Structure 1
């Protein structure tokens, strides 16, 4: 029997940097049993940006990523027959079509996510998502099929909504968890971590997750400027200057990549601008970094270091390349690590300090800088990476793994990516070999170890590791999910 496609639902919208649209689409054929049953649907997601903008990388890129997943998969958290379907990039003028099979009970329920991949500007990408039913050619009452569809629509503000702290009943005992993205990143980089924390503490209304968008498209302005902007926004949110007592009692800070350095400076700024009272009134609990260049980025791959030197990463890129100064001015990262600096003083006050570092497959932040130089690791556990491997991993970041059942099983229950988990005391750090000729990297590392402990967690992840460690995209970066689980299991909020 010949068949035809009929459109039974659609939605137009647009996304800018750091924005997401999430739909839950449900088809229930029991609503109208008089209609001939439909067995499969076709979903079509179209990037409405003209094709000419495909080359405008530095003003965009104007791409979208998308996933279509059985809602039951999300609820049950196990490998089902319905493997998530993901498209890491839908380019300008491009469409992604996907066939959906309606289960035998005649009820289909899917969650659709459409995510902006814009990095460098606040421009918007328009899109259209359409749902088609495949029906026999001889059916006339096609308009009735739309009545079978119900949907829910969640915008970015719904997913990252921050409560008004002044209205919370438990405002005297709120633990604020600050999530900070890195260079040319957005709050979407912490989407999975945000929701994982909220799910873990779903019955605890005293945990508030704070992910700010104040540095979207602005991270090249420099660590100091971006950190002050974030800190001022944070102070305003917790009511520091508008109430007798701040609305929170505890704070933890989690930073990915450059976000770890932002948080170091934020902590120092909060210490300084409040004359040391911030961490007296608000108890600092956890300070956590994920693949952060705590010692700068002096050993980058050539294809990353060149654009940094050319200034394509703005002031931030120049700050991360440490050089011995011919003037009296110290590099920023060395100055904030000094034991008398506000950042150093603030960091000593945190109950726990933890860093997660990739030992392999991270082309942006190497082990030495993300682990603060000193790690007690056997030589055979450190994989040496040559230029060919670097290029291979770079290409892997452009071509994410296919979302197969085998990939998900390895990610959820295969060999643990955690290969080293140890608390380092100041006395565990070996004395310097060259007392008067230390590198800037080693000086910074020794400053941070001088009077505080660090929990160092070393991670080995397959494929591109820098963004996978934080699970930037839930299914594409599933190999990092157990790193997030380790964080939640070892850092009680």
Structure 2
């Protein structure tokens, strides 16, 4: 027993990059007793505050922590006893060196777990989940140390945080074994994971405990789900929310795995990262003692192209029939905010040039579509085409055998941030082509929340429209690509139906496009004639008119103050890479209302549609770069044409892409994957949409009335088809932040 009776539990631990410690805390109280109504939790980052000045080089040495009572469910309204005094669901995204985070744990209905009888005495059990996560992102050689306590006297616990311990430990693991042992002995001295109160129990789970769980039924066929993290992130902490949401909602016999040792190696290049993931997948399917019959891939950010290269690497090294030989059916290929076309066209001249020079290593050059000499370990398809070896990796990535293998997936799905993502913006994440008439005015998302909500798109297993025509899709317009045909600031002429990625030069085809838009407006207006007011999309096109009665005529005008104009579509606002980086460090957090009341959350999915058309035969005359462009940047035409070449390879007559567009506040790039459960809680709807609509699910944790029921998953072949198909609608301390 401790000599400090107020202290019930203490754990001094350390975390490296991607590591997580989870504590399931249970306290039992004799039923009817009122002597204990609350206890206290305290965690302190025991790194020296002086380390802050160099944390960008090897850190950051900060912690994320949340405390949740056992009866909290984000899908149901949560009611604290006194939300003004204690919200009960508490988290802190940045516990910096020498700072602490204190939470009062209330023994009430929100934390009540069960009752039990021991020796004829009835006890009430109260439970909380506490999660501590390292925020280190740069290197695997450093660690962040913390001191965690639970007890009945917060003031006394604060005093325990002062002493020799804080002055002796360093954040860098000593190379000398004797020094390492001495520091460790001081650090762990009788206080690592120790319980001092028999009425308190704490189950501590490490990173390995959370990730190495078996499938629900090891003897039955297993659906293997491979998850892959992105740039400057890690699998084990950053993809944990996705993993556990899948496990709690998917009714299949699934096992989720991923390669965790690419963390801290972002600069190694897509090929190196992809080979690592590919070798890991082969080891799992060949050596794990399970019968895998299905496989799915889910990735965030850079992980999207890394996992594609991993698949291609497997097909080349193990044979194109590798998965067929093992009787493994590819089911889902899912990416969230992944740079399929690189980021060359999204960055300004200076940032593009910096990355091209190798600031982010090989990966930076890969993302700017730079040519480079092939290495000995490079895996290239079509050895007879020597020139392909010198092309950017993202340009050759979708070539066979990957392109043919993609046809075997039941579903190909991309999630893309429409706004607030300067790291992987809309153009590259959505693989270029979108139906902009259906999309509406994306600029409105930036200006106001008064956009047309599409709650039906978040209904579990909703019907999805399929677009099988090239004539009503456009390249994602670029604000800087305004030409002489633009009619105003922030607008460009439509480029639908083009086959080489360039705007048509003939006026008649411009007018033909306008006529198609007008026809669709007329059809839309007839379907909605019973409504008293126009929707935003109707207002957008209400000035279009056609001269003459000939439906094939190219003579079209749009009347606006008696001036003839070309049709326009609104350019999506370009997010700033610098702004996104700042939002990662200074993350806007969800409000208390958002955390506690599902009714307060706006729909995050506003476009969900299958795209099926053949662009693979389109030819693009990619201009060669001049010496000036090679040294100082890229011409707008060259950048656009290069991206069109890549995008066309992903849009063949045998591939159908489900493109889901998301409206999230900053930091959208991390919110879309819910990197931290509460700090990035704005993305809950995205993960829920992914789980419920792409996998067979039950509602065992949702609180719905149809618990345990199975839902069928819509596939492209089951969706509505046809280009005119209609969508179916149905005190010095850090305060707890909510």
TM-score over 0.5 for the pair: yes
| Counterpart position of 2:223 | 175
CA change 1:77–1:249 in 2 (3 A) is same
| Counterpart position of 1:397 | 584
- SS of corresponding position for 1:253: strand
Give the Cα–Cα distance (whole angstroms) in 1 for the partners of residues 664 and 610 of structure 2. Answer: 21
Q: CA deviation at 1:42?
A: 2.7
Q: CA deviation at 1:174?
A: 1.6
Q: Residue 69 of structure 2 contacts residue 127 of structure 2 at CA under 8 Å; is this kept in 1? A: yes
Q: CA deviation at 1:336?
A: 1.2
Q: Which moved more, 1:94-103 or 1:214-223?
A: 94-103
Deviations 1:104-140 (A, max 9, x none): 8886422110001111212222211012313999xxx
Q: CA deviation at 1:83?
A: 4.6
Give the Cα–Cα distance (whole angstroms) in 1 for the partners of residues 365 and 5 of structure 2. Answer: 55
TM-score, normalised with respect to structure 2: 0.59
1:26 aligns to 2:228 (yes or no): no
TM-score, normalised with respect to structure 1: 0.86
Pairwise CA RMSD: 3.3
| Counterpart position of 2:16 | 16
Q: Which has the higher strand share?
A: 1
Alignment of 1:427-466 (within 5 A): 427=614, 439-451=641-653, 452-466=655-669
Deviations 1:131-181 (A, max 9, x none): 2313999xxxxxx9823322111111111114399x9311xx221011100
CA change 1:6–1:300 in 2 (3 A) is farther
Alignment of 1:479-490 (within 5 A): 479-490=682-693
- SS of corresponding position for 1:381: coil
Q: Residue 83 of structure 1 contacts residue 403 of structure 1 at CA under 8 Å; is this kept in 2? A: no
| Counterpart position of 1:260 | 304
Q: CA deviation at 1:306?
A: 6.7
Q: CA deviation at 1:294?
A: 0.3
Q: Residue 286 of structure 1 contacts residue 351 of structure 1 at CA under 8 Å; is this kept in 2? A: yes
CA change 1:304–1:200 in 2 (3 A) is farther
1:349 aligns to 2:395 (yes or no): no
How many positions carry a matched residue from both structures? 470
Deviations 1:272-311 (A, max 9, x none): 1122122323211111110000000114455965763453
| Counterpart position of 2:573 | 385
Deviations 1:407-443 (A, max 9, x none): 236766633111111111124x599696565711000
Unaligned stretches of 5+ residues in structure 2: 81-86, 113-123, 157-194, 374-385, 444-571, 624-639, 697-738
Q: Residue 356 of structure 2 contacts residue 370 of structure 2 at CA under 8 Å; is this kept in 1? A: no
Alignment of 1:77-476 (within 5 A): 77-81=76-80, 82-103=87-108, 108-122=126-140, 123-134=142-153, 146-163=197-214, 168-170=218-220, 173-187=221-235, 188-201=237-250, 204=252, 206-239=253-286, 247-280=291-324, 281-301=327-347, 305=352, 308-309=355-356, 311-323=358-370, 328=387, 329-338=390-399, 341-378=400-437, 380-383=440-443, 384-385=572-573, 394-408=581-595, 414-427=601-614, 439-451=641-653, 452-476=655-679
Unaligned stretches of 5+ residues in structure 1: 138-143
Q: Residue 299 of structure 1 contacts residue 366 of structure 1 at CA under 8 Å; is this kept in 2? A: no
- SS of corresponding position for 2:246: helix
Give the Cα–Cα distance (whole angstroms) in 2 for the partners of residues 265 and 11 of structure 1. Answer: 42
Deviations 1:14-54 (A, max 9, x none): 11111101112123232896xx8233333211112222322
Q: Residue 417 of structure 2 contacts residue 664 of structure 2 at CA under 8 Å; is this kept in 1? A: yes
Deviations 1:353-390 (A, max 9, x none): 11000100111001000000000023743224367x76
Q: Which moved more, 1:397-406 or 1:442-451?
A: 397-406
Deviations 1:324-371 (A, max 9, x none): 789941111001123xx3322322221211100010011100100000
CA change 1:47–1:301 in 2 (3 A) is farther
Q: Residue 590 of structure 2 contacts residue 682 of structure 2 at CA under 8 Å; is this kept in 1? A: no
